[in-house]
A and B are shown apart, each in its own frame.
Chain A
Amino acid sequence: MFNNKLVLPGLVWISLFLLIPCLIVFTYSFFERGVYGGIEYNFNFENYTRSFKWTYFKILLTSGQIAFISASVAVFIGFPAAYFITKFDSKIQIFLLFFIMLPFWSNYLIRTYSWMVLLNNQGLINNALIQIGIIEEPIRMLYTKFSVVVGLVYNYLPFVVLSIYASLSTMNKEVIEASEDLGGNFFNTLFRIIVPMCLPGIVAGFIFVFVLSIGNFITPDLLGGGRFLMIGNLIYDQFLSARDWPFGSSLSLILVIIMLSLLFLQSLILARKK
């Protein structure tokens, strides 16, 4: 591999901007915050014991919970959507996939802000429900875990649709016909043939959304109103508000380890499938 000089730019890029920064973060995590921010070089494990204090560990659990729910909902919506797309003629499929990708043409922040307009107490959804007479008082939807999950699912759904579509469309259709010929009804075919065969796509989509969600800090900040934190917000705060870089470093390292293990799990599943 190293004989191929084409690998050099990528290698330099990754070591300069990924490996070395990770090493710096790793080193910082064993030191202390100075009085005015910055680093004091007293080697200790304080940041790690603090990370596992219940107040902070709870945030990790909450983040995991929100990421898990978001990823599950995204798969639940994304699978039927992808399945539906594959039923069309291949020319129409391109158009449908184009529409799935369309939201990416607008900025992430704008997409998130529009949910604030829709979900707030004086917002479109509450006003419509009150007008129709279904509810009398607005339901609190914005600044809750619900609104954060909505924002995450909305923003990351296209990834799931695409990854499931990719495995569905390469599936051998004759297997499905065989199942139908042998008397398998729709649900039997779906759950015993289609889902198992495109499991790598489903798992890839799920883990993608999970990993992107657990570290997200913009959506919980805007749609969660800062009333509960996700691990991304906590890390952001340590670097930009509390100026406690060492504690922020230990938290990010923990997050990186979680993400890497999940991605490792994903590649294991993919490898086994092959």
Chain B
Amino acid sequence: MRKLIFLVLPFFLIIHATAKADIVVSNWDGYSPSDIMDTFEGATGISGEMAFHATNEEIMGKVVASKGAGYDVLFVSSPFAEALHKLGLLSYIDHNKIPNMKNLDNWAMNLDYDMGNQFQVPYAWGTTGICYRSDLVSKEPTSWNDLLNPSSDMVGKVTMLSTDRWLLAAGQLLAGYSVNDTNPEHMANVADILKSAKGNLLSYDDTTFYSKLVSGEAVMAHAWDGWCNYAIWENPDVKFMIPEEGSDLWVDTMVILKSSDNKDEAHAFINYILDEDIGSWTIENILYKTPNKAAMDKTIPGLVEAFPNMGMTPQYMMSFETLKDVGDAAKLYATTVSDILAD
């Protein structure tokens, strides 16, 4: 028995070392102020720990496997919030515990995947389009086709997002399908379009395309509008445009897990994020549009000249289709993306 203690002791030490904040939040690295947990504790007395995930799929995999254990609040894109909700892993949002909900834009209270924000609270939103070097392209892009089949002088100078929903959306929009299309024949067409587009790419790039634009290695990049701003920041010749076939409206959301033992603290955290000043910090630093109307009204006038896409109105963005959970077709989406990347 004594020997056994020596065998298991190291494991207890490891477990002990990882304890013990009131709430654990997982977000994309750099998507909220780096000292957010400290200022949150200063303001509310609640201690929190920030964990990071690189992709929606990564955190989804962890949370589904553990039934939510280990996390209280997650930042995920809307289709994933919807999927987590369908899996019964999310807690309902108690609006009484989030007085700052009043700061949210009216449009953000009526998103078609979750009318009235029952299981998620929008954090940031935007569109997906083409981020390009206006001084280096031989022709200004107007269509998704300009990205997928660039003129010969731009072949090998184009990057695309490889994250499944957005990779497929580029092909779906060009072919005139919905970004939530689940028809297998349509999906096969989309796969063909994207497989042939692959030959024109410099690389797939979800995270560093803006530095490739700044260096001139790439002249066009498939991009989320917010990330394009990082390139515009360094080179004003970079522009963002939405192709004539349209775009998607994506919403990054905050959700509370049903398994959380500290739901009050989790609500307090979301309330803190929706604070006007924290909202302004977020907008100024991550250069994403947020549904925090109070913060947007205060911040945008100073930003819109340098970053025109910050001026997009919620009404305009809502004219595009919202990315939704595709349910049983999730498998089709995943295998199609694997096939395209493997081809």
Contact = CB atoms under 8 A, between A and B. Distances in A.
Contact of B215 (A9, A120, A237, A240): A120
A234 B342 contact: yes
B64 interface: yes
Contacts of A244: 331, 334-335, 338
Interface residues of B, number: 37
A177 B342 CA distance: 54
Contact of B338 (A58, A227, A237): A237
Contacts of A227: 198, 201, 203-204
Interface string A117-160: 00011100000000000000000100100000000000000000
A238 B164 CA distance: 12
Contacts of A225: 201-205
A37 interface: yes
Interface residues of A, number: 31
A227 B197 CA distance: 11
B18 to A, nearest CB: 18
Contacts of B83: 36
A162 interface: no
A101 B278 CA distance: 48
Given A36-B64, A55-B343, A140-B156, A241 B203 contact: no
B328 to A, nearest CB: 6
B342 A38 contact: no
Contact of B57 (A12, A35, A55, A240): A240
A242 interface: yes
Chain B at the A interface: SS class: helix
Contacts of A36: 60, 64, 83, 86-87, 330
| Residue among B58, B86, B334, B342 with max Cβ neighbours from chain A (10 Å) | B342
B163 interface: yes
B167 to A, nearest CB: 10
A173 to B, nearest CB: 48
Nearest to B326: A35
Contact of A226 (B60, B87, B162, B330): B162
B327 interface: yes
A242 B205 contact: no
B327 A35 contact: yes
A224 B202 CA distance: 10
Contacts of B65: 37-38
Contacts of A67: none
A9 B204 CA distance: 44
Interface string A25-60: 000000001011110000000000000000110110
Given A55-B343, A120-B215, A226-B162, A241 B337 contact: yes
Contact of A55 (B87, B331, B342): B342
A144 to B, nearest CB: 10
Contact of A242 (B156, B201, B334, B343): B334
A196 to B, nearest CB: 41
A244 B64 CA distance: 12
A122 B217 contact: yes
Contacts of B337: 241-242
Contacts of B327: 35
Contacts of B86: 36
Nearest to A55: B342
Contact of A120 (B201, B217, B335): B217
Given A12-B7, A36-B330, A243 B57 contact: yes
A122 B212 CA distance: 10
A241 B55 contact: yes
Nearest to A143: B203
When A and B form their complex, which 8 residue pairs have the shortest distance between CB atoms, in order from nearest? A225-B203, A226-B204, A242-B334, A241-B57, A143-B203, A37-B64, A55-B342, A38-B64
Given A37-B65, A243-B64, 8 more contacts: A36-B60, A122-B215, A226-B205, A226-B341, A240-B57, A242-B338, A244-B335, A244-B338
29 contacts: A12-B7, A35-B328, A37-B61, A37-B64, A38-B64, A55-B339, A55-B342, A55-B343, A56-B342, A58-B342, A122-B215, A225-B201, A225-B202, A226-B162, A226-B204, A226-B205, A226-B341, A229-B342, A237-B341, A240-B54, A240-B57, A241-B57, A241-B164, A241-B334, A242-B164, A242-B335, A243-B61, A243-B64, A244-B338
